Structure 1
Amino acid sequence: MTIGGHVYNLYGLPVVHAPESRAADGLPDPGSVAWRIASDTYDPEEPWSEVFARFCEMIDTTRVRALIVGAWENAYETDSTAIIEALVAARHRLPALRALFLGDMESEECEISWIRQTDVTPLLAAFPGLEEFGVRGGNGLLFPALRHDGLRKLVVESGGLPVAVVRGVGASELPALEHLDLCLGTSEYGADSEAADLEPILSGARLPRLRHLALRNSEIQDEIAAVVASAPVVARLEVLDLSLGILGDDGATALLAGQPLTHLKKLDLHHNYLSEPLRQRIRETLEAEGVEVDLDPGDADADEDEDGTVYRFVSVGE
């Protein structure tokens, strides 16, 4: 999944749109694809609920393994409550569901920080067999602490993640979780967490199986790198992802001065503001030990105003 773009693969399955009419034929095996159910944000011909109802009529939903919720009508001012209620009500019709992504919209449909969300945890309660869950949009998003014994992958994409969500994830009991991806964003779009709020995640106490940790797209990426440098959970990781934010030399220096990272399979720092000497130090320290390192600056670009103040930008904000 790529933050900001449409989900193109979920649970290892290619994405297919739900049938647009009851006359559709040649449909794939229900369990062989990830079904994308979407309306239009602006002036839809039919609401999301009708698209979902037709899907449930035409498809053997007992075999569906992956669902993607795309745009719903007026997603910039109407939250996902009705969508969540419809999915929860259909839980007995979806006994094989293992992966769910909520809010799959590109910027032309609804900017990521405009997508209205709500408490998404009823979905996890309704589907105890769920192994992958993703949500896009931090506006109004709630994630109170919970326990889920089956979830292996959790992705939260946002331009600004509320601290209550960070704390809720950190306080959750997720014994099977292997992959955690939080896109933290900027204060301009609602991000109000501090590096200290990540401590329950970084301790690893509630995440015994975590192997892939992404804390990215943050305006406090240097501070995050500094606390990650001594975090107990890092010793068991295979992938550490601090990409898409405003990581600079201070953060990279702290990371190199902390615990060894040579056990990692990959360190992802793409979209960064590192100087070439720091890039070279990272390469010399890690690549020689077989660690795959992504140091691509990507579209990272800084602005300087007339008084010399330099502004750096995360990859995805609005």
Structure 2
Amino acid sequence: MTKTSHYEYVESFAGLPVFDFTPETESEGLPAPAQVAWRVRLDDFIEEFEPFQELFSRFLETVDTTSVGALIIGNWGATHEVPADRPLALLTDAAERFPALKALFFGEWLQQETEISWIEQGDVTPLFTSFPGLETVVIRGGSGLSLALITSSVLHELRLETGGLPGEVVRALGASDLPALQTLELWLGVDEYGGSTGLADLDPLLRGERFPALRHLGLQNADFQDGIAAAVASAPVVAQLESLSLSMGVLTDEGAEALLSGQPLSHLKRLDLHHHYLSEEMVGRIRAALPGVDVDLSERQRDEWRYVAVAE
């Protein structure tokens, strides 16, 4: 499973160490194209798009991209000036140059570079249609994010990191044909930053019929985390999972009580509930109820002001 944080750059991606291709990168001594995940990004705050365009062109000229299997697209110019459709078009227009591409992280911006809700995404469907061999996809930023129905027999990991995930994106996923999908993580966020997803939108995911291979489900970073927990407590998909994440959101004793009162979770290898609002008593009850499960109950928050881990 690809682990990411919007506070620090990933050091490995799709099982490969990351190599930065920045404006300062020298052409001599570059690693073999297939042995690293290539990160293409500007290394400074630049308002215009042209410097990234030039950098990407130099990347295509310098690296044998026919062997590149993993690619990370980061800082492409100030997000308030350069919407993501411009780097997306650069990438998809060069799709024939990347026949081996299997893993893509689109939008690796750090919090100190831009707030996650300031990343102006758009229709990301062309990423899936232009690169049908993608097995791992991570997309960061939910502002303006849209997605049509997608079909892939090889996509096994999808992660959408947002401070607000539009409900239409979740509905499109629920209706997509992704029989090989093993890992799905959604940072749902809050309404203030475009998070219009509701429980009804999650229902196709929770039924499990569309994703027979799913083994990890993350429904995270939600201000209605208690409602999600209650829905998960009776969701058919849980029986096929090996790990479940309801982390980063406003999970209280009410949601945890629903989990404990619902279907058994003892078959899980891991249950991630970090960043929560549970009482010490409830923390103890969960640990006692699931002695054989690796339960993450870290980052217990103070109850005075409840918030999701990632919003703005």
In which range does the TM-score fall when normalised by the shorter chain?
A: over 0.9
- Residue correspondence of structure 1 range 74-85 to structure 2 within 5 A: 74-85=78-89
Structure 2 length as normaliser, TM-score? 0.95
Other structure's SS at 1:198 match:
helix
1:12 to 12, 15, 39: 15
In structure 2, the partner of 1:291 is 293
CA distance in 2, matches of 1:293, 1:125: 37
Contact 2:6-2:109 within 8 A present in 1 as well: yes
Note the residue ranges of structure 2 that are not aligned, 5 or more in a row: none
Q: Deviations over 1:202-250 (max 9, x none)?
A: 1111101000100001101000000011111100000100001010000
In structure 2, the partner of 1:112 is 116
CA distance in 2, matches of 1:14, 1:295: 29
1:192 aligns with 2:196: yes
- How far residue 21 of structure 1 moved from its aligned partner, in angstroms, is 5.4
- Residue correspondence of structure 1 range 45-124 to structure 2 within 5 A: 47-124=51-128
Contact 2:49-2:76 within 8 A present in 1 as well: no
1:30 to 30, 33, 53: 33
Q: Deviations over 1:120-150 (max 9, x none)?
A: 1101011111100010000000012221111
The more displaced of 12-21 and 181-190 is 12-21
In structure 1, the partner of 2:171 is 167
CA distance in 2, matches of 1:227, 1:184: 15
CA distance in 2, matches of 1:191, 1:146: 21
- How far residue 297 of structure 1 moved from its aligned partner, in angstroms, is 2.6
CA distance in 2, matches of 1:22, 1:163: 40
CA distance in 1, matches of 2:298, 2:27: 44
1:125 to 129, 146, 160: 129
2:272 to 268, 275, 278: 268
- How far residue 19 of structure 1 moved from its aligned partner, in angstroms, is 5.1
CA distance in 2, matches of 1:35, 1:247: 37
CA distance in 2, matches of 1:19, 1:317: 29
Structure 1 length as normaliser, TM-score? 0.93
Distance verdict in 2 for CA 1:271–1:70, change over 3 Å: same
1:217 aligns with 2:211: no
CA distance in 2, matches of 1:187, 1:140: 13
2:237 to 233, 240, 247: 233
Contact 1:3-1:157 within 8 A present in 2 as well: no
CA RMSD of aligned residues (A): 1.5
Distance verdict in 2 for CA 1:21–1:3, change over 3 Å: closer
Contact 2:156-2:182 within 8 A present in 1 as well: yes
Aligned length: 308
Note the residue ranges of structure 1 that are not aligned, 5 or more in a row: 304-310
CA distance in 2, matches of 1:135, 1:58: 26
Other structure's SS at 2:35 match:
coil
Distance verdict in 2 for CA 1:164–1:77, change over 3 Å: farther
Amino acid at match of 1:85: A
